[in-house]
Amino acid sequence: MVNPNHKLEIKPLKAFIFDLDGVIVDTAKYHFTAWKRIGEKVGFTLSHEQNESLKGVSRVESLERILGWAGVQLSAEEKEALLIEKNEDYLQQIDAMGREEILPGVLELLQFAQENNIPVALGSASKNATRILEKLNITSYFNAIVDGNHVSKSKPDPEVFLKGAELLQQAPENCVVFEDAAAGIAAAKAAGMTTIGMGGADEVKTADHCFDAMDQITTAFIRSL
């Protein structure tokens, strides 16, 4: 028998903020190939470990770090030329990419959010984010988009996620961030949000919850957050 004096407490579902590269789609490998080529131009071989630490980091900051590792100093014009070259290389690779490169479980989670009126934002460092979402035909799942064109500070600064929460009109503690980068997990933590680490990198294991892939995330887990 249901006790009429006892109100059933239904916990509201938290808002979702998704990183893009390496979370929604495996573009991380294209960034790596493009940066590796730029590294080679300045006589430097970019390692997997170094590349891992560039995840979530803006284009300009990534180049600065690569030049630092290479011990190479360039003029502002030379740097600008390398940034353009890197992006042209990257865009050529992503333009050949198809919907099949959306990572497993992503579409299902976006659909679950839509069906359950969960607010969804993108929180990405990439200046190419809207182009990629359009290419994958998933823009309509997002209530708000914050990308590299809208922020002045790179992850691990929380700016990108705080802006996302603000656009969704959600308190930071009511947001869950899906991230594959150490810098992104640190940014989401600094924003006071729940963190879900995607992928196997050690640094990502500091997240509140970790999954190898999004198809391992159950609706029961989402409801428990």
Per CB under 5 A, residues contacting Mg ion are 19, 21-22, 180-181
Site for ligand BG6 in 100-159 (CB under 6 A): 124-128, 148
Q: Does the annotation mark 212 as catalytic?
A: no
From the CA atom positions of the chain, what is the Rg in Å?
19
Residues near ligand BG6 (CB under 6 A), total = 18
Task: Report CA-CA distances (Å) from 3 to 7, 9, 10, 11.
Answer: 8, 13, 16, 19
Residue 65 in tokens: 């770090």
User: In 68-203, which ranges are E strands?
Assistant: 120-123, 144-146, 175-179, 194-198
Nearer Cβ to ligand BG6, position 146 or 176? 146
186 binds, among Mg ion, ligand BG6, none (CB under 5 to 8 A by kind): none
Active-site residue (options: 19, 147, 212, 215):
19
Query: Between helices 76-95 and 59-70, what is the axis angle to 10°?
Result: 120
Per partner kind, with CB cut-offs from 5 to 8 A, the member of Mg ion, ligand BG6, none near residue 123 is none
Q: Name the strand (E) or helix (H) holding 211.
A: strand 209-211
The least CB distance from residue 20 to ligand BG6, in Å, is: 6
Q: Does residue number 36 form part of the binding site for ligand BG6 (CB under 6 A)? A: no
Active site residue 147: no
Place of tokens 């009109």: 169
- Give me the active site residues, please: 19, 21
Residues that bind ligand BG6 (CB under 6 A): 20-21, 31, 54-59, 62, 87, 124-128, 148, 181
